[in-house]
Amino acid sequence: MAGTTNWVRTITGLSLLLFIGTMIVMNWLTPDKSFSEAENRVLERKPSFSMRSLLSGAFATHYEQYATDQFALRDLWIGIKTTADRAWGKRDNNGVYLGADGYLIQSFSSPSDDEVDERMEAIHSFHRATPGLRKYLMLAPTAASLFRAKLPAYAPVGDEQAVLNQVRQWIELHGSDIRYVDVYSALYQKREEPIMYKTDHHWTTRGAYYAYRELSEQMGVVAKEPAAFHIRKVTDAFYGSLYSKSGYHHLQPDRIDLYIPKEGARMKVEYVEEGRVADSLYEMDNLNKKDSYTVFMDGNHSLVRITTDQTDGNKLLVVKDSYANSFIPFLTEHFAEIDVVDLRYYGESLTELVEERHYHDMLILYNVHTFFEDTFILNLRSE
């Protein structure tokens, strides 16, 4: 009996050592990724070592996040863990809740007052440096607030609406003439419609359309009616970022619709850094990829320059996250030129770009979660 026990312990120990060794080798051989398509976020890169960062604790913190983000077969382990948690009745995983009606809902943590001030001061600093440029700020709510009733009972999710009101009040309190575009009310009224994907964190094209109508009213332009578009279903097999991030499977996929203008403007779409030119904002081949949402504008790029045949239109600068990718096609009906900048990848001076391009209007469009998670927006204050 003792011999059998020792044999089992030996096999177990050797198996554990083999597994650890295999994972060490796989982590060493697996190249680092800069971006996760599944989670739609920039991954932590290997931090630079210095005695100062070591003593301050910053190096250890960043290295721990780096090791977590770059762990080999990370998506597989998330899926295994989620399956086990779901079997035990757990309703959330990796910051994603399994809500009613098959909705996956990303958790939201309310930012501190300092975080709100920091971001708004960065935007206001840029506003002071570019006084001749009309600016609009749109922070889109997520499913965590629009579909709060679908969350599991007692889910500790922050109050997005309160944060959006805080941003609006900041602008009013500081006497800024930045125009705040409230889309929460319009989207909340339409919450019974498919305005958000169930397996992805983005709004649907219909949700983006309702937001476009709110911006049009602020800008004083006439929004196109739904009848002006061919609404075309391009896939009904879309599993989005929250599906991959959470590991929750056995859910119904989403459909993606494109709103194609019946009398649309012709355009040239230039991906500046890549030196590539297209004649459409839709990359149809991407419907065959894991992240089909990249059908809109081929995903995220540092600078995209759109030129339309709207000869009497103004020039627009859009600073954005990926929510804007399905939103921008609506704007091509009203502007002659649109430059689209993603600060996560754009390393040049935005102030110099404004001075060079002579824009009339600027739209800052983020979803409220990314706006407070992403620190790249703070780069505006250095302008």
Mean pLDDT of 252-274: 93
Phi, psi (deg, nearest 5) at residue 187: -70, -40
**What is the reported pTM?**
0.80
Place of tokens 């040239």: 268
State yes or no: pLDDT of 79 exceeds 70: no
Residues 122 and 214 placed together within one structural domain of the fold:
yes
Residue 50 belongs to domain spanning = 2-74
Q: Is residue 247 part of a domain?
A: yes
Per DSSP, 265 falls in state: P
Same domain, 123 and 154: yes
- Verify that 102 and 68 share a domain, yes or no: no
For residues 129-136, give the mean pLDDT: 95
**Residue 65 shares a structural domain with residue 168:** no
Residue after which a domain boundary falls, among 18, 41, 74? 74
Beta strand pairing call for 276-278 and 314-320: unpaired
Instruction: Please indicate, yes or no, if residue 88 is contained in any of the structural domains.
Output: no
Q: What is the pLDDT of residue 215?
A: 98
Query: What is the biggest distance separating any 2 CA atoms in the chain, rounded to whole angstroms?
Result: 90
**83 pLDDT exceeds 70?**
no
371: three-class secondary structure by DSSP = helix
Asked whether residue 38 falls in the same domain as residue 112, the answer is no
Instruction: Give percent above pLDDT 90 in the chain.
Output: 67
Angstrom distance (rounded) from CA 111 to CA 251: 31
Measure CA 194 to chain center. Answer: 18
User: Which amino acid is present at 242?
Assistant: L
pLDDT-derived band of residue 248, with 50, 70 and 90 as boundaries?
confident
366: DSSP letter: E
- Whether residues 101 and 70 fall in one domain: no
Does residue 108 surpass a pLDDT of 90?
yes
Separation of alpha carbons 136 and 181, rounded Å: 7
62 and 116 in one domain?
Answer: no
Work out how many domains the chain is built from and give that number: 2
Q: How far is 245 from 5, CA to CA, in rounded Å?
A: 40
Q: How far apart are CA 78 and CA 76, in angstroms?
A: 5
* Residues 229, 279 within the same domain: yes
Q: What is the DSSP string of 151-197?
A: SPTT-----HHHHHHHHHHHHHHTT--PEEE--HHHHHHTTTSS-B-
Q: Does residue 86 form part of some domain? A: no
Q: Are 225 and 253 in contact (CB under 8 A)?
A: no
Sign of CA dihedral 23, 24, 26, 32: positive
Q: Are residues 138 and 279 in the same domain?
A: yes
Residues belonging to the chain: 383
Torsion of CA 301, 303, 306, 311, to 10 degrees: 160
205 and 353 share a domain? yes
> Is residue 135, in this structure, part of any structural domain at all?
yes
Q: pLDDT tens, 276-324?
A: 999 999 999 999 998 999 999 999 999 999 999 887 779 999 999 999 9
Mean pLDDT of all residues in 7-27: 67
pLDDT at 247: 83
Q: What pLDDT is stored for residue 206 in this prediction?
A: 98
Indicate whether 284 and 220 sit together in one domain: yes
Confidence of residue 143 (pLDDT cuts 50, 70, 90): very high
